[in-house]
Amino acid sequence: MKKGYIFFALLFLTISAKGQSDADTLHYRKIYYMAGTGLSFPIGKTKEALSPKLFVGSMGLDIALKNPNYFLLPTLYMLTFGYDQQLQDPDYNYMIENGTCSFYMLSLAAGKRKQMDRLNAFVYVGPAVGLVNEPRGNLVGETIKMEDKKFITAAAKIGIGADYKFKGFFLGGEIGYMHNLKKIEGNRAQFLTIMVGLKSDITSLSQKVTNVIGIDTYK
């Protein structure tokens, strides 16, 4: 896993170095809405309890900073996995197989991108926080009652990607790594996320909102 962090760090430095002299005209004073779908793969020992399910989703904003080569990327990831319980929970009298475990993670990342005509390459990193729903079961009379055991977790998210501008929208994809502090069946949850999706310009809507509340950020 350390090699993965080194790879992302080197890629970030490469994009930063190459992008210093390039003017990003596609993102200047722009805010884009992004929606994606894809797959999320548990990695490491997380695979002992979790397995991939189709499909996972994401939605968020691409907010260009004063220098549009840099951006903020608040994104909500909705990740669902198959779940096989490994450890006995003393609060419940049944173990779960073929259950479903879900993560709703809000990533507050920042990143760097390089514009190459209509193609953009980017890298990002940042913290995340979210809600975990882990399935449990109890025998009540003659019925097994299912419920979700809920947890709050913090995490770190890092990723790379690219998008291409067509008329009126961007089509792009990203590969990311998420490391949660929350343990699933004794192991910290780690995921590899692969997303593809669309990005559309909502700058005009943002301008209307800021004008209404009296904060003009576009002068």
pLDDT in tens, 129-161: 999 999 999 888 888 888 999 999 999 999 999
Q: Is the domain covering 2-212 a CATH 1.10.10.10 domain?
A: no
- Helix residue ranges per DSSP H, 53-171: none
pLDDT at 208 over 60: no
Using an 8 Å Cβ cutoff, are 152 and 129 in contact? Answer: yes
pLDDT at 207: 60
pLDDT at 107: 97
pLDDT at 136: 93
pLDDT digits (tens, 9 = 90+) for 42-61: 999 999 999 999 889 999 99
pLDDT at 212 over 70: no
pLDDT at 38 over 90: yes
pTM for the model: 0.81
pLDDT band (50, 70, 90) for residue 20: very low
Tally of helices (H runs) and strands (E runs) in the chain: 2, 9
- Region 84-108 average pLDDT: 93
Using an 8 Å Cβ cutoff, are 52 and 194 in contact? Answer: no
d(CA 205, CA 166): 20
pLDDT at 194 over 60: yes
d(CA 162, CA 196): 10
pLDDT at 213: 43
pLDDT at 168: 83
d(CA 128, CA 105): 6
pLDDT at 13 over 70: no
Mean pLDDT of the chain: 85
User: Structure tokens of 34?
Assistant: 């992004």
Q: Residue ranges per domain, the chain?
A: 2-212
d(CA 111, CA 64): 10
- At residue 33, what is the residue type? Y
- Region 81-97 average pLDDT: 92
pLDDT at 55: 86
